[in-house]
Structure 1
């Protein structure tokens, strides 16, 4: 791809209003570097519209396979930019690159499902999966909406990406178990930010995606749920009520498990709908049991 042409808001609006046609006098090769750069902008309109254009052009596609692979490699690289920083603008490039990479994983998965040749190699999938897992594990900027700059929402976007990875046929049981393990460890670690922008549901959706693969056994899920009440140094969640950062992790874990329980009880909306998985019924009472262990004084009944 050529050096980036600046893609300003006026040009973006022209593209969107034309139903995502490439503007006259331009090519995707010229515009794509600028669109990718805009994903890290602190200007919400510039960032969100560039996301929409890239996503649409990938889905149509207006790109060749080689171009999509180039974009995917850049998006995967972006997942590590500024990782570990807190409350800096670098969060935008990580968060929005995750969504574009998710779009590319979807394209590849659907192509395989329709008996087409894969766009991505298994090696690419596994390398990028581990970058996404590192993003979940090491992300310190847990802001959802940033005043005057719009949505960052990196934790939620990372959940979306991991859910899509989980559905990809290149992932094996050990990969899915690693994803689940990382989610649990992330949630029980002390943090300063309560999940107030539905991050709990976005992460719980990863578990639903993992269950769709029917590769991870009941025994693993038993141990995984037990890990939510296995705190360092023999501490229990009741000890954390007066420890602010630990108490926040208690709340985040509780919200996540509540979301998972509600998905089990009331179903999970998806288009197309996910087929039922028998293991969900077996796990439902275990999730409720874990919730009661997180706060033994709760007034939860025996479930539905």
Structure 2
């Protein structure tokens, strides 16, 4: 294994626009170093160099199916996507969050090249749901270490799951449930996580999910908030969850408006936010 400084130097020097130059690289060795350091606490190495290099390698068709399958199998294991799952405020979140981003890239690539066996694609769907349900470290930007953004990255993964041609209609409502789980985690999101989660909603609508299903799901969110108020009053946990749903509703309203879809859902959001503005949770 090489040092992080050496890996930084190697990745900084790569010109991904030169295919002949890329062919001269020992990509197998480089991929192993990159995946070994995918959860580095050095934000520049982890985000700007390793993740960006994965993206450019796949975008430029520099990786063989075997190399991409190696990345897939590695990112899916308990030392990557599920490394320290359930832990909070520790550095394992970087490994999980950035493994989920690489899996998103791989699913996106599989949509056009079909390099993955169907059982691996299906396992990626299940892993995405499992990961988002179990992720407990909801930090966005971590001072001194850069972006963890676990829920936002997991949402990007979910978007690619939904977009995949093998994604079944039977999973539409399951996707809504996992988004709801993310929205009701013990946090008030401050780094646009709710916007990233709504991209998954848009993908579901683009895939053919009925607008009525979205409306019913949105009414369920507000009902849960109202029930929490009845149970807890104006407590800190209630306040934080209400704020998250409020932000999600606002994002949903305008994104639906821009798509010219979901008028019934928009009317519901408008009515609920007016009530909540008056502190009416009946």
Do these two structures clear the TM 0.5 threshold for a shared fold by scoring above it?
yes
Does residue 167 of the first structure (1) align with residue 155 of the second (2)? no
- Alignment partners' CA distance in 2, 1:18 and 1:128: 30
Instruction: Give the counterpart of 1:231 among 197, 213, 224.
Output: 224
Does residue 176 of the first structure (1) align with residue 172 of the second (2)? yes
Deviations 1:184-228 (Å, cap 9, x if unpaired)?
133134x1x3211111100111101110001x2344323312221
Residue of structure 2 in register with 1:302 after alignment: none
For residue 171 of structure 1, report the CA deviation from its aligned partner.
Answer: 0.8
Change (3 A) 1:139 1:97: same
2:75–2:81 Cα contact (<8 Å) kept = yes
Does residue 54 of the first structure (1) align with residue 50 of the second (2)? no
Q: Does the residue aligned with 1:169 lie in a helix, a strand or coil?
A: coil
Residue of structure 2 in register with 1:144 after alignment: 140
For residue 240 of structure 1, report the CA deviation from its aligned partner.
Answer: 4.9
For residue 249 of structure 1, report the CA deviation from its aligned partner.
Answer: 1.2
Change (3 A) 1:149 1:236: closer
Greater helix content: 2
Residue of structure 2 in register with 1:204 after alignment: 198
Change (3 A) 1:205 1:15: same
Q: Does the residue aligned with 1:230 lie in a helix, a strand or coil?
A: helix
1:15–1:23 Cα contact (<8 Å) kept = no
Instruction: Give the counterpart of 2:183 among 183, 187, 190.
Output: 187
Q: Does the residue aligned with 2:90 lie in a helix, a strand or coil?
A: coil
Residue of structure 2 in register with 1:266 after alignment: 258
Name the TM-score, length of structure 2 as normaliser.
Answer: 0.87
1:105–1:164 Cα contact (<8 Å) kept = yes
1:1-304 → structure 2 map (5 Å cutoff): 8-15=7-14, 21-22=21-22, 26-48=25-47, 49-77=49-77, 78-111=80-113, 118-189=114-185, 191=186, 193-214=187-208, 216-231=209-224, 235-237=227-229, 240=232, 242-267=234-259, 279-292=261-274, 295=276, 297=278
- Alignment partners' CA distance in 1, 2:181 and 2:269: 16
In the alignment, structure 2 segments of 5+ residues that lack a partner are none
Question: How many residues were matched structurally?
Answer: 274
- Alignment partners' CA distance in 2, 1:145 and 1:58: 26
In the alignment, structure 1 segments of 5+ residues that lack a partner are 112-117, 268-275, 300-304
- Alignment partners' CA distance in 1, 2:272 and 2:205: 18
2:228–2:238 Cα contact (<8 Å) kept = no
Deviations 1:113-151 (Å, cap 9, x if unpaired)?
xxxxx2223322221112111221111111111111011
Q: Does the residue aligned with 1:242 lie in a helix, a strand or coil?
A: coil
Deviations 1:6-62 (Å, cap 9, x if unpaired)?
5521112112587695495x4101110111122110111111111111121122211
Change (3 A) 1:206 1:74: same
Name the TM-score, length of structure 1 as normaliser.
Answer: 0.81
Change (3 A) 1:108 1:29: same
